[in-house]
Amino acid sequence: MQRERLGPLYIFHDPHQSLFREGHSLPKTDAIFRLTMNCRNTRRIHKFSMQFLDADIESSNLVPEGIAPERHSARSDDDQRDRCGTILTAWKLQYRLTPDRIAILSPVRRQRSCLAEHAKISGFPIVDSAADWRNGKGLLFSTITAFKGLEADAVIILAAEQAACETDISNYVATSRAKHLLAMIHLNTVKVVGKP
């Protein structure tokens, strides 16, 4: 077996997506190019993501305006799951999405989410493996951290309570994974107590 010749090495680094908060080191080089143009998301998804980030990043002129991201509030785990199912059903009917194009992201693992006891949602099987997802075996449930660096045509984020919400960086990473369709469902179980 012949070994391939060494070629160029490209390193892409986005300090805005540093979820782990650990120190890092990159090879020293004089060849640094700052990329300030977003080409992954539609303009509306990019604008939605940028509310969580203070940076000068613009949408490419080549990307479409797209569909406005949805933002919902749920009163309980059951309500969050029902809203997720309603969104998926609408997307499936309107855009004919297949499961390998959809990801559900959460700050917690599926066992601690509103989908813990459910193998399917909106008729789609739920898988926890990116390999199974790519092979069309179901839509993917992933933590936001594990999905970093990946993307999907359609993303639903099962967000924590807004009062104890994940960080802006986490929200930026999660929302920027969506290429065409995005929905965020915040769990809001805070009860408002009226005056006696």
Question: For 20-64, what is each residue's pLDDT tens digit?
Answer: 455 556 667 776 666 677 788 999 999 999 998 888 888 888 889
Are the C-beta atoms of residues 125 and 98 closer than 8 Å to each other? no
Are the C-beta atoms of residues 45 and 182 closer than 8 Å to each other? yes
The letter for the amino acid at 7 is: G
Q: How far apart are CA 92 and CA 98, in angstroms?
A: 7
Alpha helices in the chain (DSSP H): 43-50, 77-95, 130-134, 144-147, 168-175
Are the C-beta atoms of residues 67 and 42 closer than 8 Å to each other? yes
Question: For 58-115, what is each residue's pLDDT tens digit?
Answer: 888 888 999 999 999 999 999 999 999 999 999 999 999 999 999 999 999 999 999 9
Q: How far apart are CA 186 and CA 196, in angstroms?
A: 29
Question: For 38-49, what is each residue's pLDDT tens digit?
Answer: 788 999 999 999
H or E element that contains 124: strand 124-127
Strands 58-59 and 124-127, sheet pairing: unpaired
CA proximity to 170, closest of 189, 187, 184, 181: 184
